[in-house]
Structure 1
Amino acid sequence: MPNADPVRVLPVRATDPAVAPLLDALTAELAGAGYTPEQTFGYTADQLERAGVHLVGAEVGGRLVGVAGLEADGSGGGELKRFYVEPGHRGTGVADALLAALVEHARGHGVRVLRLETGDRQEAALRFYRRHGFTPIPRFGPYVDSATSVCLERTLPAPPRLRVTSVTVGTSRPRELARFYARLLGWPVTTEEGPGPGEPPAAGWAQVRPPAGVPGPTLNFEWERHFTRPVWPAEAGRQTASQHLDVEVADLAAATEWAVACGAVPAGTQPQDGVRVLFDPDGHPFCLFR
């Protein structure tokens, strides 16, 4: 059954005082299951440190109740190391949280294949790994001649290729706002559409694209029927700006003067040197920075 307290997974060191009892408990549990020292391959705390194993711990109620590690081989593979959860917290989601954290770390560090070794009598562990997509493979590395070893593997699919190409701004005056940003940035308005049936004259849709060879996202402006001008700095109970554009400039003073000439209004609050916050004609904040 789930833990009453939430599971918190955090990076730990093998030398942390709270980690050593968990590593010792794992060693003792394997010995109690009948494995000889030659049939266990768990790293000591020193070996974990020297090998650069990424170690995470699971806290429940402020106490460390589980630990697990990942050793990357530098060529897209990684091996799970020293995976242990206290018996009283098994089946509660702690092991799932530890594995999820290691998978996330693996994805972020170029690891595409996870491997592990466990004992042939560790039925609960084998069920857990199979449930999480691990499948049996031939024994590898130091386990090749270990008759009691079972090795498993899971391939992590490469993440899909994603690329941010545009930003869409909700506004009450899309075509007017597109012309403002086109003038401000020196980019062309590439598309304009008028209002739909029953919509007010200011409605519609417009797009501003950077010229060829100029980096930057396409800016889309779409009509929002119930648009409310945001307040910045934020005030409780009022519409906030959920995002804003940052525009890099070479000369902050000249760029600010130009933005005002285009129709922008400087904000009453300016949070730092090197940045100027302004509002576009429909009240969206944007920043000029150098």
Structure 2
Amino acid sequence: MLALLAVLGLVLSAGSATWAAEHALRRTRQQTRYGRYAPWTHPRGRLAAPLNWVANSRLLRALGERIPPVTFVSDITDVVYVNYVVDAHRIAPLVPPGLELQRIGEAGDQAMLTFLSYRHGHLGPTLLGRWRRLLPSPLQSNWRVYVHHRRTNTMGVYFLSTAIDRTFHALGARLAAEALPMHVLERASLVTAEGGRIDLLLDPGRGTAPDAEAHLHPLPEWPADGPWRHAFSDYEQMLTYCVPQDHALSVQPWYGRVTRQEISLGIPLEACKALTGPVVSTAASALVGDAEPFAFLVPLVKFRFETEGHDPI
């Protein structure tokens, strides 16, 4: 009986300490509309209450920050970029203090927002070698704006949201990858049909992942005009700005630092294929208003997450 009471006392003490630590961390790591501390809800709703607690826990994410970064690779296929050129003042408030929005266009009054969706090819750590081919290939979507860290003069992207169709991957990224505010999609598909048509579906269900539906067709060549002309002189200039993005930046003011995650993509601009067709997204409309989308495809990408570094704010 005494032993049982002792165990019960230890459990209650541990629970009390956990609650106190969680409560204290929530005072500094406050909820935001977008980014890593935006609210997280699994598509299964109330049935996933324990998962919601884990994903929203400040304590677990603080512990996850102590996990050393591991090199990951993936043989990605069919990367669909959907882009918007929008008035800079509309999305500048979404960038956290410590970073600045990259402004584009002749007057510097425009900015760019992109969501890109793709199928992983056996995403996993390089240390697995050929055994990585046994790992699954989830579908992922990254929603980003383009930012600048003035102190180090680093250009990169800041993720407003990211989503994936596997709960395990979403929780792992949510807890351990500082730049990835990962949510779970209830349904997701990216299908290349006859004639090169691409059908994209991102369905969050009752969860907090972003939504999108697109039906796109390839163009025979890069277009001479489009919504991108608000900020770029030609299509190649737009691709040069949008495609070579090797830094994902995020801010941790409680540490006084910017986290810089380094990736390698190595996408040649000539591999990009222009697309046309309707794109419908409530999540995008909330961000860009009535800005027109324009899209392109990258058929193959050898993704490699290299390392993580930190710079003072």
TM range (shorter): under 0.3
Structure with the higher fraction of residues in helix conformation: 2
Where is the strand percentage greater, Structure 1 or Structure 2? 2
How high is the TM-score relative to the length of structure 2?
Answer: 0.19
Which structure's CA Rg is the greater one? 1
